[in-house]
Amino acid sequence: MDREKELREAVEAADEALAHLSRAERLLRTSGRWGCLSTLGGGVIVSLLRHSEMQDARREAEAAREAVRAFGRELKDVAFLMDSNLDAGDLLSTAEPFADGSWANTLLEARAEEAQARTQEAISRIRTIRNGLLRELDRT
């Protein structure tokens, strides 16, 4: 296998996962705002808008879960080719909660505020991994 190719594929998979996670986070943030309006007496229309945003966030979380799983598969390919310059074990342990889909299941079951916090954490962790992949790619 070509190391550079695998690194590029992992970065692309990270980009795809980050795009879905960012959209989900934005939708969760928006639904939270609708929730605040709803508690202040926003009525049926506000409740419907909030429900629609939550449904969109759930769909985006499902897409994010699939993208994160693909990212996990790419990380395994990279780890197989990795030399001592990047600790593959650390890389995989950082990504483990995302690769098996358990993160997305938790996200889908969580309240909007908790789901938003978990999504932000996922974005941060995947960005960190992506940056490590880019550094490794620069070395090739």
Q: Which domain holds residue 124?
A: 3-139
Contacts of residue 28, defined as CB under 8 A and 6 or more positions apart, other chains included, come to: 53, 54, 57, 112, 115, 116, 119
- Looking at the structure of the chain, the number of domains it has is 1
Per residue in 54-96, pLDDT tens?
788 788 888 988 898 888 888 888 876 665 444 545 555 555 5
> CATH number of the domain that 51 lies in?
1.20.120
Q: How far apart are CA 65 and CA 31, in angstroms?
A: 20
What is the reported pLDDT for 104?
55
Per residue in 9-66, pLDDT tens?
999 999 999 999 999 888 877 765 555 545 555 666 666 766 777 788 788 888 988 8
Q: What share of the chain is helix, strand, coil (3-state, %, to 5)?
A: 90, 0, 10
